[in-house]
């Protein structure tokens, strides 16, 4: 390998992480005061936990910082070594981030906790996801083939192939389900950032097996979120908003689809999944019983927040964030261990 090839194929991808971190750290001290001056403050849910009322007015749309950081880092890497897989993932990250930014802007403009209505948001997400699904079928690592978690433990190679007319709806389901899960997870200081850093570490490692392009974007996400977490950890100085959470949902789902690891998302993204399920259970049971609830509040992180508060804990968010992050780390380690069977 020549010196230039070594620089292009190894050193440049590794430098993506510190570059993304540095960009966010440099932007934040100027970006946060700017959001204050523009009065881009968080609109807190009226039916949310009482302790969250003090967060009213905290700058939101912080996801713009790591969107810029991820985009710049990935494009610089592609200037040295173009890679279609990294651009595919970046397409969904940016697309969903822009939808989230529009949603955040409307919330701020209307001074309420809802921006785009659900139908508008769904239509925009569907358009982007269908484009991505068609692109993925033609350009992804497996092109319609799906790896089955734990299947490799019973054989050296375990997968199935979907025809295009099933694959595209399947990808749409994976992307929209994952994106909503990540969006619901953004409810405590540092929660979505911390959990997604661990998930991104999984995809960075998996990418070295299946797709170096996915690894590049994953490293950029890790670096950008580490920088963002310095300002987003409890008590948060800035929130990512839907700008950030929808973009991160786009990253997780796109990384999984491009790598053929869609069925690994419920494992590494278990926290995202239970957040969505808790909301579905709560809403369904509330309607069926005319007002009764399964959880004290949904999504489920608020349920634990209220319970800990009733037990006398004055600061509950860091404990829940730590627990959810540890669960994600354990499941991601298990999922990666399973992946090693595919390379054995």
pLDDT value at 284 more than 50:
yes
123: CB partners within 8 A, 6+ apart: none
Instruction: Output the six-digit token pair for 343.
Output: 């390379």
**Which percentage of the chain shows pLDDT scores above 90?**
62
299 prior amide bond cis, ω within 30: yes
Instruction: Find the mean pLDDT for residues 162-184.
Output: 94
- Each residue of 144-171: pLDDT tens digit? 788 887 655 555 446 678 888 899 999 9
Is 261 within 8 Å of 216 (Cβ atoms)? no
Assign 3-class secondary structure to 198-234.
HHHHHHHHHHHHHCHHHHHHHHHHHHHHHHHHHHHCC
pLDDT value at 300 more than 70:
yes
- Each residue of 184-207: pLDDT tens digit? 999 899 999 999 999 999 999 998
> pTM for the complete prediction?
0.92
- For residue 100, count CB atoms less than 10 angstroms from its CB and return exposed for 0-12, middle for 13-18, buried for 19 or more: buried
The lowest-confidence range among 105-114, 127-136, 275-284, 316-325 is 105-114
- Separation CA 53–CA 40 (nearest Å): 16
DSSP-derived 3-state class of residue 84:
helix
The lowest-confidence range among 29-38, 92-101, 268-277 is 29-38
């Amino acid at each position: 390998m020549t010196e230039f090839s070594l620089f292009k194929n190894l050193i440049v991808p590794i430098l993506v992480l510190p570059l993304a971190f540095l960009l966010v750290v440099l932007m934040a001290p100027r970006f946060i005061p700017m959001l204050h001056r523009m009065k881009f403050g968080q609109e807190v849910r009226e039916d949310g936990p009482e302790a969250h009322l003090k967060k009213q007015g905290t700058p939101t749309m912080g996801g713009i910082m790591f969107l810029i950081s991820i985009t710049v880092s990935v494009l610089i890497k592609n200037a040295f070594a173009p890679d279609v897989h990294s651009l595919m993932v970046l397409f969904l990250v940016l697309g969903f981030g822009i939808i989230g930014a529009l949603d955040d802007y409307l919330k701020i403009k209307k001074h309420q906790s809802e921006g785009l209505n659900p139908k508008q948001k769904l239509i925009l997400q569907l358009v982007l996801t269908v484009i991505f699904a068609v692109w993925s079928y033609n350009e992804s690592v497996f092109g319609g083939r799906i790896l089955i978690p734990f299947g490799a433990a019973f054989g050296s190679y375990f997968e199935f192939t979907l025809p295009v007319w099933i694959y595209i709806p399947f990808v749409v389901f994976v992307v929209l389900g994952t994106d909503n899960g990540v969006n619901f997870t953004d409810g405590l200081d540092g929660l979505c950032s911390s959990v997604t850093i661990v998930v991104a570490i999984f995809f960075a490692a998996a990418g070295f097996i299946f797709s170096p392009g996915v690894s590049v974007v994953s490293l950029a996400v890790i670096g950008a979120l580490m920088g963002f977490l310095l300002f987003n950890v409890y008590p948060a100085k800035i929130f990512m908003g839907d700008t950030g959470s929808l973009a991160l949902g786009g990253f997780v789902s796109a990384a999984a689809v491009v790598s053929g690891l869609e069925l690994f998302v419920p494992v590494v993204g278990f926290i995202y999944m239970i957040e969505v399920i808790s909301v579905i259970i709560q809403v369904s049971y509330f309607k069926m019983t005319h007002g009764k609830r399964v959880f004290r509040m949904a999504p489920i992180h608020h349920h634990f927040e209220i319970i800990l508060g009733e037990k006398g804990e004055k600061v509950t968010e860091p404990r829940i964030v730590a627990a959810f992050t540890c669960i994600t780390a354990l499941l991601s380690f298990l999922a990666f261990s399973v992946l090693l069977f595919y390379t054995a």
